[in-house]
Structures are given as C-alpha cells and as structure tokens.
Structure 1
Amino acid sequence: MHTDLPTLGAPIMIAGLLAGFFLCFYGNKAKKYLVPLRSVLSGAMVSLALVFLLMHKEALIVALQTQNAIQSLLDLLISGEHYLFSIIAMSSIAIGGLLLFALSRKSGVFAEKIVSFFTALSMALFILLVLLGFLPLTLSLVITAVLLIPILIFCMRDFSSYMAFENAIGGALLISYLLARFWYLDIWIFLVWVAILSVTGIFSQLRSLKRHKTKGGQSDAE
C-alpha cells in the first residue's frame, strides 16, 4: 500500500499490532470494556449526524458530495461562520456519547436493544463515509441503506455475536494497515490479509462465545 504518510515508529507499530491481534482474536474477552467504548462512539456519531440533518441539511449534502467528505464535514463543524451550530454539534457529541455509555453500563433487555440500535446506525454511518471515498453520494446512500437492514437485524437479535464480528474485522483492518504501511505492500495484499484475519478472527471469537454460553448453561442447570 504505497502512501505519502510518514513511516510508523517501532513503538507505535508494536502497540498497534498487539492491539489489533487482541481485538481480532480475543475482543470478546474484553466485552465489558469494549462495549461501553463502542457505545460512546455510537452515541456521538448518531447525535452529530442528527444535528447536521436538522440544522445544516443543505450544507451536509454539499459536503458529502465533495472529493474528501470527511474533511469537508470537519471544516463545516469547526467553521467560525456558524458558532451556534458548532457549539450545539460539539455538545451533541458529548451528550450522545455519555448517554449511550450510561445505557451500556445498565443491565436489561431495553438498554441492550437501545445500544444495539445505535451501534447499527453508527456502523451504517461509518460505511457511508468509507463508500463516499470511492462512489457518488446517491449510490453510496443506496448501498448503505441496503447494508443497514442485515446489520440492524444482526445487532438486535444477537449483539454479542455482532460485536465479535465487528471486533474481528476491526482488528484485521488495523493489523493489515500497519503491515501494509511498514512494508509498503500493494492494496491487493492488504485486502487478502484483511480477509484471512477477519475470517479466522470471527471463527475464533464465535467459538469462544459458544464455549462461554455452554458453560453458562451448564452452571444454570446445576
């Protein structure tokens, strides 16, 4: 993966690889900590998206149609021309993240479903931002809407398994990106690494979840 970005230092490389491998293969072991962190991100992303839609819909559409949508959104967010919007947007990030974090710490079906719902929405937003780097806005929106349906169903039906999928893929992307940056690998090698690590990580975490559920069922029976 050829890039003009500076070479990563050894400490960053090692720390990133360790974090990536842990997330890819053992993410479910740290579910107690990863779910609240993921909830903060979900709440912040969805809240910010709602503020953009309600207060700056036209500017949002224009920003999403630019070559670098993320940079355009950041410029709009911190623009000195709209102080009130910037204050409300920043506040929504904090409030949304904290509210969903608090919900993720609570037990109960209702809290879990709310967290699952926002997790699915935030993943759809992430997918949309990625697609905008390669496809026009209309096509990106259509693909995102189609993908949102299975993601939402998966999240609502089995949140633990969904998080295993997401952790494995996220860890695989981090590992592959770091290796590609370090050795200047071609994009196809990067994608192959992502696919291999994602599949093995998903199977590893799902097997671990299955063993955990089996032990839990045996304990309840006793």
Structure 2
Amino acid sequence: MDWPSLAAFSIFSRRLNDTESRYSTFGRELLAMYCAVRHFQHSIEGREFAIFTDHKPLTFSMKSSSDKYSPRESRHLDYISQFSTDIRHISGANNVVADALSRIHSLNRIQGIDLVKLAQLQSEDIDFHHELAATTLQLQTKTIGKGIARPVVPRSYRRVIFDTLHNLSHPGIRATRKLITDRFCWPKMNKDIKEWARTCIACQKNKVINIINAP
C-alpha cells in the first residue's frame, strides 16, 4: 500500500459517552468502525472498499464465531458486513491522522497548541478583553480534561488553532469547523474558519490534482 499517495476526502470523529468509554478495547474500536461506516454510508454504499484499523483483533472479527461477541458487538459487525468484510491491519505508526483525531478531545495532547501560552494571552491581551466585552461570551476558570471545556481564543492565537487542527488532514470547511468549534470558541469564528479553509494552499493543490486525475 503506497500510503503517501492517499489523501483524506473527509474525516469523522466524536466523543465517547460514559457508557461507551467503559467498553473493552475491542468494543470501543468496533464502535468507532461502526460509527464511521454509518456516517459515510452515502459515500460508500455500493462501492468496493477496505476498512483499515490499528486494532488487529478486528481483522479476524468477520471470520470468528458470533458466540464470542456480545449482542451489541454482533449487531455492529452485522451492520458493517453489509458494506464490507475487508478489514485490514495498519500499524499505529502509520495511522497518524486517525490517531491524532482519537486523542484530540484531550486538549493538552494536541501537539502545536500551547495551553499555557493561550491562558497567558487570555490574561494579558487587552484587545481580547475589549472584544469579549462586546459579546455574550464569558471567561470561566475550568480544569482542562474534566467535562467539556472550550477555551476562548484571543485574536493573536486563532490562526495557530486553525492551522494545527486543519493541517491534520486538510478536511473541508464543515469538518474543519466542527473540529475547531467542538474544542474552542471566539467571536465570529465560523467566518474566520470559512475564509482560512477556502484560502488553504494545500487544499487548493489537492483539488487541482484530483481534477487532473479524474477519469
């Protein structure tokens, strides 16, 4: 498999709820596969495709006896099998984008985003406080990692946030917006994200390549 030749056309991620977070590793990985297939059903239905996972036990799941699995896991496998039974292993070292997305809900693990600097800018940026005063947004002290925390981002650090998350796989505008708005907030952020995503050079180059290679 020539990995450098592949490019993401879209991405999908979501947070596990309390019940799901207590699933076994196999159960959580299977849930991720099931949710991804459901999310992209409109794009993959009727097509031949392979599913890649860095959790090797999943590659044997379609050939194993159903007695091994819980009713929930059996339902998930049955649904996935309606679209593809070709499940292949990819080493974690090669699964860069998926690994980054799976860890991205923990803000202090996002490489390239300095939360200490962000907090300092929140405290010291006078323009930020003036801008904040003109909105309904309010700063509250929260412990990162407990519950849902969306730091308000000063103007000087917004492009850093955008570049760090968008550059994971250069998704479309809507996917980029979801990645960022789920984790951060600032006034008129949808407008900023739309403008920056539209002017992304890497995305424009990828579109040109896809047009040239189209049958």
Scaled by the length of structure 2, the TM-score of the pair is: 0.24
CA radius of gyration, larger in:
2
The one of the two structures with greater contact order (alpha-carbon pairs below 8 A, sep at least 6) is: 1
- More helix as a share of residues: 1
Scaled by the length of structure 1, the TM-score of the pair is: 0.24
